[in-house]
Structure 1
Amino acid sequence: MKKIVLMFVYFSLCFCCLTGVFGDEVKSVSVMEGDSVTLHSNLTEIQSKDVIEWRFGLQQIRIAEVNKEANRVSIYDDVLDGRFRDRLKLNTQTGDLTILNVTTQHAGIYQLNIRSNRMSTYLFNVTLYARLPVPVISTQNSSSSETSSCVLLCSVLNVRDVSLSWYKGNSSFSSISVSDLNISSISLDLECLDDSYSCVVNNPIRNQTQHLNINHLCQTCSDTTGLTFIHKVVICCVVVGCLMIVASVLIFCICRKHTNTHQQVQSGEEEIIYVETTFHNRRTCKPKAPVEDEVVCAEVMR
């Protein structure tokens, strides 16, 4: 790993020097260690009098050339102690250069010279990234004995210039940047787990993901949900019981009121006294003719 750091510093110096010398825009190209990378000339076709030349490093060592006028294609893969041996491919139509199985020795500044009616120079800065390990997820004892939360630790080893993140589904909610080669980790504190959580380590060109195994880590949310369901059942039973008591009291009051009303009606009927009515014929008083005395009539009661 120390060698990688030294190489990075070396190529950074190369980059600064070449930028100062040529003043041209530098195109950054990223590649994973062991992969292949192609540097494009942006030409659709090399003209009959064009010369395409590729050079590498601060010393501008020539590694490949296409000379259309001389009808010659040359690959100089023995230079620089043979680090490019069997690793270079040159497209004779466009002048694109492909480097195979890239290692730390192939990272750095590449210079493209195109000579036709005029001279054009282009610079490429090839950055190498080490292959990413799969993150490791482990449990960590909580510092508080009173809490029942689950503390998880996601770790990566021997990486640099990466990000380490916790995801829930497709959304990132916790992330750190790793700039050195030491062990780096990020923690996650949860009450319970489900299978939507994952830990991701990524660099600008690739990522590695580790999903949680809820069968071996902490308490699952399904267990917690079960306890909550029991609580809900108990609450529902209490509510139903209270409603039944209230309904019973209402029914008792209604029945009692109906009984009292019925008794009052019966008492009223017993207090009625029936009186027999007798009807008498009313007599008409007829005065006697010879007697002229006053006649007194009495009303007949029926």
Structure 2
Amino acid sequence: MFCAFISLYLLHFVDGAKIVSVMEGDSVTLHTDVRYKPYVQWRFGPEDTIIIIQFNGGGITYFKDDKRIRDRLQINNQTGDLTIRNTRTTDSGLYELTMKNWLLLFNVTVYARLPIPIITRDSSNCSSSSLSSQNCSLMCSAVNVSHVTLSWLKGISVLSSISVSDLSISLSLPLEVEYQDKNTYSCVLNNPISNRTTHLDISQFCQTSADRVHCCGFTEAVIRLVISAVVGVATVAIVVYDFTSRRGESTFAIYAN
């Protein structure tokens, strides 16, 4: 499936800082929004990796800079606006703009590209009782994600969801549907700036009732075979014992007469 990505970023204010959200790989421009700019200074990063960029009448001076980001920075010679090209998640943080005695803050968050959520058959819910039920167990998963929400949708209604913030982890969300269900289901992975969707084809994962015996895999099949064999041997032993006992009783009765 081909998906076209476009350069997109969101901007709003929180506690006096401009909150900027951008997708990894896209470009974002931090605007000074001031016409008269005889002197502009941009700062970013902790003290040990600080970047200080001075813009004064078209001249640009770099100071104690971090090369991981410097080669991707660009300042507009007319406005002093700062553009970050080919953004990375490590570019997230607080950017400070100083013009004379005026300070403007930009809190930038770079979100990683979202993977496509994967739908699989959930064999962990298989049991002898589930084999006779009319439900099909499914699982939707997303690997190594952060700042996202994973949801199951029935049409446009959210059935269930799970979220993760800072940590990069794997998410899984179960769903049970009937084998003959004709509703439209989809699994959606989203963050504040984008989303990825996988639509459920029930006929692909939930087939006829004869297919249910395979949902628990090889291990359960072996266990059931062993149990059947043990029960069979026990049954034969009981029959042989019963036959032997009856024959012994008959022989004893003959001798007794």
TM-score, with length taken from structure 2:
0.65
1:94 alignment partner, one of 66, 74, 79 = 79
Q: Give, in angstroms, the shift of residue 135 of structure 1.
A: 0.3
Equivalent in the alignment of 1:132? 114
SS in 1 for 2:205: coil
Contact conserved, 1:169 with 1:197, CA < 8 A, in 2?
Answer: yes
**CA root-mean-square deviation:** 2.4
**CA shift in 2, pair 1:197/1:75, >3 Å:** farther
2:155 alignment partner, one of 169, 172, 180 = 169
1:33 aligns with 2:24: yes
The gaps in structure 1 that reach 5 residues or longer are 1-23, 221-302
Distance 1:120 1:86 in 2: 27
Distance 2:116 2:141 in 1: 9
Identical counterparts, % of pairs = 49
4+ long deviations beyond 6 Å: none
Distance 2:39 2:141 in 1: 51
Distance 1:77 1:154 in 2: 48
Q: Give, in angstroms, the shift of residue 187 of structure 1.
A: 0.9
SS in 2 for 1:124: strand
Q: Give, in angstroms, the shift of residue 40 of structure 1.
A: 1.8
Equivalent in the alignment of 1:198? 186
1:76 aligns with 2:66: no
**CA shift in 2, pair 1:95/1:195, >3 Å:** farther
1:121 alignment partner, one of 82, 86, 103 = 103
Q: C-alpha offsets along residues 163-200 of structure 1, whole Å, 9 cap, x if unaligned?
A: 00011222222111124333211111111344621100
Contact conserved, 2:51 with 2:64, CA < 8 A, in 1?
Answer: no
TM-score, with length taken from structure 1:
0.56
Contact conserved, 1:31 with 1:127, CA < 8 A, in 2?
Answer: yes
1:55 alignment partner, one of 43, 56, 65 = 43
Q: C-alpha offsets along residues 55-88 of structure 1, whole Å, 9 cap, x if unaligned?
A: 11232844433213xxx331528822x1224311
Q: Give, in angstroms, the shift of residue 36 of structure 1.
A: 1.5
Distance 2:16 2:170 in 1: 36
Equivalent in the alignment of 1:105? 90
1:214 aligns with 2:202: yes
Query: Which structure would you say has the larger RCO, counting Cα contacts within 8 Å and 6 or more residues apart?
Result: 2
**CA shift in 2, pair 1:138/1:62, >3 Å:** closer
What count of residue pairs does the alignment treat as equivalent? 187
Of the two, which has the highest radius of gyration?
1
Q: Give, in angstroms, the shift of residue 51 of structure 1.
A: 0.9
**CA shift in 2, pair 1:214/1:108, >3 Å:** same
Q: Give, in angstroms, the shift of residue 159 of structure 1.
A: 0.5
Greater share of strand? 2
SS in 2 for 1:183: strand
Q: Give, in angstroms, the shift of residue 110 of structure 1.
A: 0.8
Q: C-alpha offsets along residues 8-35 of structure 1, whole Å, 9 cap, x if unaligned?
A: xxxxxxxxxxxxxxxx722222222222
Equivalent in the alignment of 2:55? 66
